[in-house]
Structure 1
Amino acid sequence: MRPMLLLPSLQVIPVLDLLGGHVVRAQRGERHAYRPIVSRLVAGSRPRDVAAALLARCPPPAGSDPVLYVAELDAIQGRAADTETLAALLAMDPALTLWVDAGFRDRASAQALRQALGRHAARLRPVYGSESLAGPDALAGLASDPQAILSLDCRHASPMDPAGAWTRPRAWPSTLVVMTLDRVGSGSGPDLATFARLRAMAPERTWIGAGGIRDGADLQAGAAAGAAGWLVASALHDGHIGTG
């Protein structure tokens, strides 16, 4: 069956989950169970190959540069970030921007990764996951940083939030992600209730959803809820959505 066309009002942002030098398939945030991706779009799990296939399947809106979201799972779990792979991804296309969650505890840790990437650093936007932020002080300065993205993470409707980010909308940057980990790779549909509740606290921000997208109908529901974009991986790999 032909996939439904993507809605022009909602940007689908393809996702790479990186672990041990491979792209893996995320499953409900249960990272011990992640295995190398098996995709209808591309053979193997090499990051550059998978990234190229996703971007070809899901090009950016007209007039926009390509964006790829990268969950650097080694770093999120406390190990060193794979800077070699991140640099190789950025080298694919001089217009490509990476939104990278590498388990940043604060702005200093994000700056350290950008310094390690050298000349490519300007095209990396750091994603600060609420599950990783060290504490309340780690939110300082995010609201004034136009490159910063804050991911409000939860699992089974419970915030993952040692820094108290969920209750401090004045500290939020201009771009936010609502990351419902138990919906990621689940095929159970997006968590629109949590998305709507958080967006109502700061509707003037740019809001991105994450997790649960199954098809074009879910994208339509996300757009109706006020999402500017949605992070998607499994539905692209399985051929359920795409413009290619």
Structure 2
Amino acid sequence: MHIIPVIDLLGGCAVHARRGQRAHYQPVASRLCDGSAPADVASAMLAYCAADTLYVADLDAIGGGPVQAAVLRTLLGTLPGITCWLDAGFASAAAAEATLAALGAHAPRVVPVFGSESLGHASPFARYPHAALSLDQRGGVPLGDAYWWQQASGWPRDIIAMTLDQVGAFNGPDLGMIARLRTHAGADRRIIGAGGIRDASDLQAAAAAGAHAWLVASALHELRIPPRTQPHLPPHAPA
């Protein structure tokens, strides 16, 4: 199972995401590193996983505020060669384009993540064919425009199954959602799960359910998953 380490940015700080209750997130306290400086946290997670891709959620932007462009530029500048999957609450292709422009020379290493929670009805995937679509749900309820849940023909290659109320909860992955999306998506698409991972056995179960990769933060910070020594992420070409 491929692991994609995750950092959540709030007010310039790496925070610990729990159950999607963003108003209550606190700075990360990790067994991998000291402090909650985004670059330090990200570097430690990437090294622990031998990963070359990092998932970043800009919670300021997702909440309707401005993108943390300066923080993102610093983070990317500290991590040369790393591909960044970025969820910054993009409502459209134009919103993603504006953010990428603000990231300057780092933009070619950034893959936009369009979350159903934020995305409008117009598809951004003609402009960004290598972007990812995050199908967001909370309490079993799909978030955002129902179109993105129903019309698999409009999906890109990478689909993220984002179960917000299981993030940081250590109550196991939503394997049912993975299996449903696997059937709906077809063989050519990759399903990436998020939330609930407790240990390596959960990753094995997720792989058996049809997930290609999993977004992980809490289980890494608490060393519930053994370290890895070889790069293990599937290739992904930024737009």
Which position in structure 2 is the counterpart of 1:6?
none
Gaps of 5+ in 1: 1-9, 61-65
* One-letter amino acid matched to 1:103: G
Structure 2: tracts of 5 or more residues without a match: 229-239
TM-score (norm 2): 0.92
Aligned residues: 227
Equivalent of 2:95 in 91, 106, 109:
109
Per-residue deviation at 1:242? 3.1
Q: Which amino acid aligns with 2:132?
A: I
- Residues of 1 paired with 2:32 and 2:176: CA distance? 31
Q: Which residue of 2 aligns with 1:74?
A: 60
Q: How many Å separate the matches in 1 of 2:127 and 2:178?
A: 23
* CA root-mean-square deviation: 1.2
Displacement of 1:56 in angstroms is 1.1
Shift of 1:84: 1.1
Q: Distance in 2 between matches of 1:27 and 1:242?
A: 22
2:45 alignment counterpart:
54
Q: Which moved more, 1:160-169 or 1:95-104?
A: 160-169
- Say whether the 8 Å CA contact 1:153–1:159 is kept in structure 2: yes
**8 Å contact from structure 1 (residues 143, 174) kept in 2:** no
Indicate conservation of the 8 Å contact 2:192/2:211, yes or no: yes
Equivalent of 2:182 in 191, 194, 199: 199
Are the equivalent residues in 2 in contact too, given 1:156–1:182 (CA < 8 A)? yes
| Mapped pair 1:190 → 2:163 | no
Q: Which residue of 1 aligns with 2:33?
A: 42
**2:80 paired with 1:89:** no
Letter in 1 for 2:11: G
Deviation at 1:144, TM superposition (A): 6.8
Q: CA deviation at 1:145?
A: 3.2
Is 1:119 paired with 2:133? no
1:143–1:186 Cα change, 3 Å: farther
CA-CA distance at 1:164 after TM superposition: 2.1
Shift of 1:150: 0.2
Aligned position for 1:159:
142
Relative to the length of structure 1, the TM-score reads 0.90
Structure 2 CA distance for aligned equivalents of residues 144 and 228 of structure 1: 24
Contact 2:7 2:56 in 1 (8 A): yes
Give the drift of 1:163: 5.3
Is the counterpart of residue 145 in structure 1 residue 131 in structure 2? no
Corresponding letter in the other structure for 2:214 = W
Alpha-carbon distance in 1 for matches of 2:162, 2:104:
29
Moved over 6 A (4+): none
Identical aligned residues as a percent: 52
The equivalent residue for 1:211 is 195
Structure 1 residue 161 displacement after superposition: 2.0
Does 2:18 match 1:27? yes
Question: 8 Å contact 1:154–1:160 — kept in the other structure?
Answer: yes
Give distance in 2, aligned partners of 1:145 and 1:47: 26
Residues 208 and 231, structure 1, Cα contact 8 Å, conserved in 2: yes
- Displacement of 1:94 after TM fit? 2.6
